Amino acid sequence: MLKNKGITLIALVVTIVVLLILAGVSITAVFGENGIINGAQKAKDKTDESIEQEQEDVGKLVNQLEEFEREGLPDTVKEAIQKGTIFTVNKQIKDATGKTMTVPKGFKVKEEELIENGVVIADSEGNEFVWVPCEDGNYKKHEYNNDANDEGTAVQDKSESGKANAGWNTWYYRAYSDWKDDEIDETANKKSVQNNGGFYIARYEAGVAKGASFYVDASSEQKTYQTSKDNIGTDLKPVSKKGVQAWNLISQINAKTVSGRMYNGETYGVRSQLVDGTAWDTVVTWMSEEYKDIEKDSTTHGNYSNNRVEGTRITESNCLFAEHLCKFRKSDNKQIGWCIGKSYKYGLFTSGYKANWTESESDPSTNYNSYDNDTNTNTYRYNHYVEMATGASDNTKLKNIYDMAGNMFEWTTEYGYHSDTSSDTKYAVLRGGSFLDAGYSNTISFRHGAASGSKADSPIYGFRVVLYIK
């Protein structure tokens, strides 16, 4: 009996020793220098190194292919226009003076050989943009010299001597420090401009695309005015084309959304957004170098209420335009609102407006059946104004860019809050003038911060797209 117990104990000891040896072997196999875990880690490290090397090789190959593509593209503006080449990669080219610009992927150079005059590019669908050259330090906002808190009144900028120079005008809340550009990456914009020497601005005010329910087709009988106010759908985006209806009756909020839709994929070498304050000021400064004093008086360069000279008459036989009435209260001359025209017309018209419009006017365009309004002329008076299609007159063209002065106020990304109200209304900045206003007061440089960013009931509010190269 004792003998059997001794054998059992020895067996137990032997078993334990064997298990310890096996455990040691297993631990070594798993955790040792050449164990499973270290082996797996080494394999992972080698795989990561291989992936990194593969990505580096692919990157080099892509760069080589892009460089190869660049080598096959035109090197000068003139050559690019002559060949009509759609660029397959972003490439820098130069004009006859040696100045350079970057043509983005997906665009061709359409017209104007000199960069300083405004070179035009176009995509495959015919949307056009103008290159804005920016030398070091030129891409910046205008610095107002007076410190007025301009609440509720127009304020003229002053020269350094303190005298008003009838220059850049502003109305409502310019001086507030919390005004900013909303939902855009200002750092990325600035970096793009620095790297490429400029940016692009839409040649025309944002136009209505064919896919919109309120699009007017010149070849059909559809001439109904925009009936779906602020309708942007899920995929509608603007166009930048000559002779189409300007996209108004849209809020700043939605103008930002549709502007971002225009170029947001990999097909094009740019990203699109609603024009920002820095871009607008940069363009105006660039224009004013050639067109002296346009920031002081833009009358002859826009569709304004005081612009009725024969030289601004539209000469295109198929020009699209709409006629609206603005309603004023006779007792205090206060603007009450708009009587929106129900239809568009094609043909000739003269810029400007006619005051105290009545049904007895002999002008054949007078037709109160085309308007929604109260025609009680004992209480109210009506002025007749004309909204014109995008780029309808060459008189509105500066540096190959149309209608930045007059026709429509244009929403920008800038917004802020008014401290004189307890509401949480977000106000957005409009730039330029409109067909309601005079060109000597609401100039191309005019800044207006009194409208709510959600306001979408005015025919004088439109917008414009800018492009920054990726």
Q: What is the pLDDT of residue 151?
A: 60
CA distance 333 to 317: 36
Taking only the tens place, the pLDDT of each residue in 223-254 is 677 666 888 999 999 999 999 999 999 999 99
Say if residue 229 is exposed, middle or buried (CB neighbours under 10 Å; 0-12, 13-18, 19+): middle
Query: What's the pLDDT tens digit per position in 55-76?
Result: 665 656 556 556 657 778 999 9
Rounded CA-CA distance 78/103 in Å is 13
- Where residue 208 falls among pLDDT bands split at 50, 70, 90? very high
Q: What is the rounded average pLDDT of the residues 199-207?
A: 98
pLDDT at position 363 over 50: no
CA distance 30 to 39: 9
E strand or H helix that includes residue 66:
helix 36-71
Q: What type of residue sits at position 218?
A: A
Residue 456 has which token pair?
Answer: 């979408």
Q: Where are the domains of the chain?
A: 70-124, 168-306+393-469, 310-388
Average pLDDT score over the chain: 81
Residue 419 sits at the vertex; the CA angle it makes with 418 and 420, to the nearest 5 degrees, is 95
Determine the Cα–Cα distance for residues 400 and 75; give it in Å rounded to an integer. 22
- Residue given tokens 């880690």 in the structure block: 41
Neighbouring-strand partners of residue 327: 337, 382
3-state secondary structure of 256: helix
Pairwise CA distance, residues 245 & 209, whole Å: 9
Residue-wise DSSP of 105-150:
TTEEEEE-S-GGG--EEEETT--EEEEEE--TT-S-----S-----
* Predicted local distance difference test score (pLDDT) of residue 15: 78
pTM of the model: 0.82
Question: How many CB atoms are located within 10 Å of the residue 387 CB?
Answer: 26
Q: Are 257 and 233 contacting, i.e. CB atoms less than 8 angstroms apart?
A: no
Torsion angle of alpha carbons 328, 331, 332, 335, nearest 10°? -10
Cβ atoms 139, 382 nearer than 8 A: no
As a whole number of angstroms, the distance between CA 397 and CA 391 comes to: 8
pLDDT tens digits, 399-458: 999 999 989 999 999 988 776 555 678 889 999 999 999 998 889 998 888 889 999 988
